[in-house]
Chains A and B, each alone.
Chain A
């Protein structure tokens, strides 16, 4: 495996958790719910995935458990914000704080233990193609899932009738309610989909990216995912572009630091954030497109009158 190939592989591994978490949050936000708890749900997914994989020896069971815990965690958020109509911003922040604290406590005994790594798929011969062989045919299964997820969500939102209903709820919940659409139910489902994705993204970190448990191991990736959704103007393929760009610059600057380029490392470390923001701002310069794609009811509380 050549140097360039290895770099490309790491980029994909760095981008995948961001992509999964962001696509999940995108669905939630398209339904009009702003869940700032992505970071908390991710880190809960990471600790659950690690712990279950370690105890059972099966990384797959770890992944399913992480998905379930992410969904459950978001169900708590949904209950608070949708049924009890608490403030979405404050509740999301609380969810992140809760997740970070709880995962640190639950994972205390896991610190320093060697983890179980999800093995890569290896399609014979095809994965031996130089440069792109491993990249396309020899990745971990979740990588393929993340691409399928993006395509699936794009199709669901913009081609299916249920997706149209979900977007209508995010655009104007009052009108949706007047037409007889069950706003609250759709939002519950969208939020839980987002939670499940965040859980999966967390498990990816502790089972693929770095198969071990470290407290706060999400290291702000949940926040990056949140920002990606906004900068990608709520379009799934743009989220993918943003996640990969972020991954590429992150890995690129690490190599640059290793090579000892005469730029302060702090500056290099900030490069991924800077580059992603600049590029996505440029993409979404078309204000009309942005306005049309922005869910107009995002973050607004909804109480149906009966």
Chain B
């Protein structure tokens, strides 16, 4: 009896049979999970496996349909986040739950349930942040901060509540490798202080490195438990996906000396469009036929602004800033640039890459009505439904887009499948220049491999491909050259053979911008 009791007490959190149903979808189906005291427990799974739904139920943001949660052995009902915080559960959200127009201290105050004056909170937050080596200015406006700094606020906010269990939802997906290291040190220290951590990630190497135990989810069900240290990254991946993951093959590009430049950016500068956006400084870049250039960088360092300028969403004032196939495209609209043979895939899928409430075939026509006018439009601009339906079927087959119904609305597709369609829509044209922002953001491993392979094949057939991504593993997998964007500046592209994770990581943190190296050499 007493043994039984002590075994229960050693477990901080026990979840039995937790189920959450959205409409007809079982997002979480009979989930069991046990987190011990002082344990870093990983929650693994692909997008849509139910990880976020599960932790939202633990934090009281969602209400389970059935199942039981035990906290320190006692059954509890967590009906809202206040109650979760009161029990001692803290959460660091994947998509930050911060308020741009408020200061760091005000943001922290909003999640504390007492009436401590802001000045006291600011002082406490500052002291705590320095003691963990995560320095923070409590009076800075969140909108002005980098993603890494925002995450610090989230973590400090969580720690100020002195929780016993800290839930981290994909915390490193927006950090540089060095920032991630810093986070791991913090987690290690918290573990030594006896805190438990529930760690959600799809980065298997880091799970192997810091986690004591793991629970693997697939399609809303628990499919396995393991000790990550005893597994390999590929065995973990197999558990997550349920089958072998396609490996991306990339042959080195050949004969690049003679290759023609298809996309040229010449000293592109941009003033910040909004108070919270990044100015661009003097960016120059050539992308040649047959190669993929990857642009790495922590989110919010000007990648979005750069993409807008290259795609023509925002026009530049100076002539010849953007050249496509040797023609000045600076004053051309997106359609004008498409007609020159370029294709663009923006980061945001719904509302930017596709119109959510329109069918796939209509979305296809929207982006290609000008470039494929001959195929898609008849005399007088009459839409040729059959030709469009055939083309959209071709794309769906080529990219293995999984959907319900023959021609559903864009919003009805899962993120990964919609992304496959959007990329396929552009690839189907065989564009000479392809610019993609975050090609596999939130896309599951199988679909991501498919998209990456398709981009490599496009380049090898003689197109110039520019990929902006926060996912370093992805860039190392597909790029011939990697350049790093930091604070609105772009480093010199580094050939993949010379690029190391450490080198790129330092550039991402702004340690040694490529430009500076060049100017110093010039001065000498």
Contact = CB atoms under 8 A, between A and B. Distances in A.
B102 A168 contact: yes
B462 interface: no
B139 interface: no
A173 to B, nearest CB: 10
B441 interface: no
B384 interface: no
B274 interface: yes
Contact of B61 (A165, A178, A293): A178
Contact of A164 (B80, B102, B275): B102
A180 B102 contact: no
Interface string B132-143: 000000000101
B110 interface: yes
B101 A296 contact: yes
B62 A306 contact: yes
Interface stretch (A55-63, A65-73, A284-292): A284-292
Given A161-B115, A168-B99, 15 more contacts: A164-B110, A171-B101, A171-B102, A172-B97, A172-B98, A175-B97, A176-B110, A177-B61, A178-B93, A179-B110, A179-B111, A180-B61, A287-B274, A291-B276, A296-B101
B312 interface: no
Interface of A is mostly: helix
Contact of B141 (A287, A292, A306): A292
Contacts of A164: 102, 106, 109-110
Nearest to A161: B115
Contact of A172 (B61, B85, B99, B109): B99
A133 interface: no
Interface of B is mostly: loop
B60 to A, nearest CB: 7
A294 B96 CA distance: 20
B109 A293 contact: no
A299 B99 CA distance: 17
Contacts of B96: 175
A148 B81 CA distance: 36
B275 A180 contact: no
Interface string A293-306: 11010000000011
Interface string B86-125: 0000000100111111100010011100010000000000
Contacts of B85: 180
Given A178-B93, A292-B141, A167 B102 contact: yes
A181 B85 CA distance: 13
B331 interface: no
A174 interface: yes
B63 interface: yes
Contacts of B106: 164, 168
Interface string A147-184: 00000000000000100110110011011111111000
Nearest to B109: A164
Contacts of B110: 164-165, 168, 176, 179, 181
Interface in B46-84: 60-63, 80-82, 84
- By CB atoms of chain B within 10 A, which of A161, A165, A305 has the most? A161
Contacts of B62: 305-306
Nearest to A178: B97
Contacts of A165: 110
Nearest to A164: B106
Interface residues of A, number: 24
Contacts of B82: 180
Contacts, number: 66
B115 A293 contact: no
Interface residues of B, number: 27
A296 B80 contact: no
Nearest to B63: A306
B97 A174 contact: yes
Nearest to A294: B101
A178 B60 CA distance: 9
A141 to B, nearest CB: 33
Contacts of B115: 161
Nearest to A290: B275
Nearest to B98: A175
Nearest to A288: B275
Nearest to A295: B101
Contacts of A179: 81, 97, 110-111
Given A174-B97, A175-B96, A287 B102 contact: no
- Listed from nearest, the 9 A-B pairs whose CB atoms lie closest are A180-B81, A175-B97, A288-B275, A178-B97, A171-B99, A291-B275, A180-B82, A171-B101, A180-B80
A171 B99 CA distance: 6
A177 B60 CA distance: 11
A169 to B, nearest CB: 9
A172 B100 contact: yes
A160 to B, nearest CB: 9
Given A165-B110, A168-B110, A181-B110, A293 B101 contact: yes
A250 B122 CA distance: 46
Interface in A160-210: 161, 164-165, 167-168, 171-172, 174-181
Contact of A292 (B61, B80, B109, B143): B143
B100 to A, nearest CB: 7
A12 to B, nearest CB: 33
27 contacts: A161-B109, A161-B115, A164-B102, A164-B106, A167-B102, A168-B106, A171-B99, A171-B100, A172-B97, A172-B98, A172-B99, A174-B97, A175-B98, A175-B99, A177-B61, A179-B97, A179-B110, A179-B111, A180-B60, A180-B61, A180-B111, A181-B110, A287-B275, A288-B275, A291-B101, A291-B275, A292-B275
- By CB atoms of chain B within 10 A, which of A168, A177, A179, A296 has the most? A179
B79 to A, nearest CB: 10
A46 B111 CA distance: 42
B28 to A, nearest CB: 14
A172 B110 CA distance: 12
A177 B101 CA distance: 17
A184 B83 CA distance: 19
Interface in B459-491: none
Contacts of B143: 291-292
A305 B97 CA distance: 15
Nearest to B112: A161
A285 to B, nearest CB: 13
A7 B80 CA distance: 56
Contacts of B84: 180
A287 B80 CA distance: 37
A65 B141 CA distance: 43
A64 to B, nearest CB: 32
Contacts of B102: 164, 167-168, 171
A152 B98 CA distance: 27
A5 B15 CA distance: 74
Contacts of A168: 99, 102, 106, 110
